[in-house]
Structure 1
């Protein structure tokens, strides 16, 4: 059997394959989840996976999960990120998933989601906020983090992305160093996530997933804010897709 997990996020789409064939890849979601789904389907076909075959089972999740018209199981993001996070951590944990449009904090006990919070009302504290601020500074996201590591934090107090951008424009107008502005941006995001995390302050093990999961600098910044070590892992950005594949496998075997 081959189990495919597809996480159509607002910014990036992640795919992971487990079973007789294993693999993973990521691609930009672009403007249309439907169009991205077609690209995912073609990519899987190139890798020898026939989605019409009886031995291929697909689970989909994420912002555009309904667009995956060949999915056997459509599963909510919280459930998938909880399942994937638990698998990656190999223990009970609290998952912090920073996505393009939202930030999710998921507490997992005995392998199941016991509680969660989600910030989806404002882009502050998400990947989109970082992307907007990087564009304003004329750099890409990786370069923003490189600058931030060299800078001293300039405070960004606004809770709204639009007003925060205005603060940055003012800093630029005052001739402040890009490194210091970048450090302020990252500190601001970590601060917003820490506010959301406050409910889970007694967590023993924290795992960072999502697009920033590979970034040690951000993990360290967040650790200082929440006063708890934040762990990273190689496949953190694939947590949702992995969860979808694992749940698809579980559901298939249960229904068989």
Structure 2
């Protein structure tokens, strides 16, 4: 049998298909778009599987549309992380619209977590808007920020006010790379605070689309003084976790 996990996020949808032993046999990703269920249906049409479990912010709508079981993002990421890093005790997931710090027990179950889902500050959306404001592509934003060792302090984490502050700094002729580094550091400090409140030591597994950003990884490691581990495809961690939980829930 094959088991699928689908993670319907605010910015993208990921699907992972595993076999009964938990080995990945297929995976795919698409933008969430204006009609998440239509995008999910299109993505799944190209997949072969017997059972599916959903996670992500759109999981409840998926449950109604496809009559499939669901799992919270916290549990899905915890399970996906355990597959890649069995000894992991701390997880940081930064996605498009929220961020989560998760502490795990020795058996991989969630011990404690903290979540920021009330504003875009400290999320992928924040970084995406700031990259656009500075004239950088999202994929290049982190690399450009790493190209300098200097950063400018960004006083506001509110997306609207930070965008205005960045625009003002550009008008004053400040270096765009230094502004970019300062913006990354402001997100890192917010994430570090969440992590310290749930787990004070040990390596941190970084998941979600923002984990693909090299500047975030480097600055997090320096800020925390802890090793940052990143799965091979961090944006698929939630979908993988949901697929593995579907395997374990099978009769």
Q: Which of 147, 151, 158 matches 2:144?
A: 147
After TM superposition, where is structure 1 displaced by more than 4 Å over at least 4 residues in a row?
none
Aligned partner of 1:77 in structure 2 is 73
Once the 2 structures are TM-superposed, how far is the Cα of residue 127 of structure 1 from its aligned partner? 0.2
Aligned partner of 1:206 in structure 2 is 204
Aligned partner of 2:55 in structure 1 is 61
1 CA distance for matches of 2:135 and 2:227?
Answer: 32
| Residue 132 of structure 2 corresponds to residue 135 of structure 1 | yes
Once the 2 structures are TM-superposed, how far is the Cα of residue 217 of structure 1 from its aligned partner? 2.9
Q: Summarize the alignment of residues 92-111 of structure 1 with structure 2, pairs less than 5 Å apart.
A: 92-109=88-105, 110-111=107-108
Aligned partner of 1:24 in structure 2 is 27
Alpha-carbon contact 2:114-2:198 (below 8 Å) kept: no
Alpha-carbon contact 1:8-1:64 (below 8 Å) kept: yes
Once the 2 structures are TM-superposed, how far is the Cα of residue 93 of structure 1 from its aligned partner? 1.6
User: TM-score, normalization: structure 1?
Assistant: 0.90
CA RMSD of aligned residues (A): 1.6
Aligned pairs, how many? Answer: 244
Q: Summarize the alignment of residues 230-245 of structure 1 with structure 2, pairs less than 5 Å apart.
A: 230-245=228-243
| Per-residue Cα deviation, 1:72-102 (whole angstroms, up to 9, x for no partner) | 3211111111111111111132110001000
| Residue 42 of structure 2 corresponds to residue 39 of structure 1 | yes
2 CA distance for matches of 1:125 and 1:59?
Answer: 28
Q: After alignment, is 33-42 or 87-96 more displaced?
A: 33-42
User: TM-score, normalization: structure 2?
Assistant: 0.92
Alpha-carbon contact 1:98-1:210 (below 8 Å) kept: yes
1 CA distance for matches of 2:112 and 2:90?
Answer: 9
Once the 2 structures are TM-superposed, how far is the Cα of residue 169 of structure 1 from its aligned partner? 0.7
Q: Which of 240, 246, 249 matches 2:247?
A: 249
Aligned partner of 1:117 in structure 2 is 114
Once the 2 structures are TM-superposed, how far is the Cα of residue 223 of structure 1 from its aligned partner? 1.3
Once the 2 structures are TM-superposed, how far is the Cα of residue 221 of structure 1 from its aligned partner? 0.5
Q: Aligned to 2:212, what secondary structure does the other structure show?
A: coil
1 CA distance for matches of 2:140 and 2:74?
Answer: 30
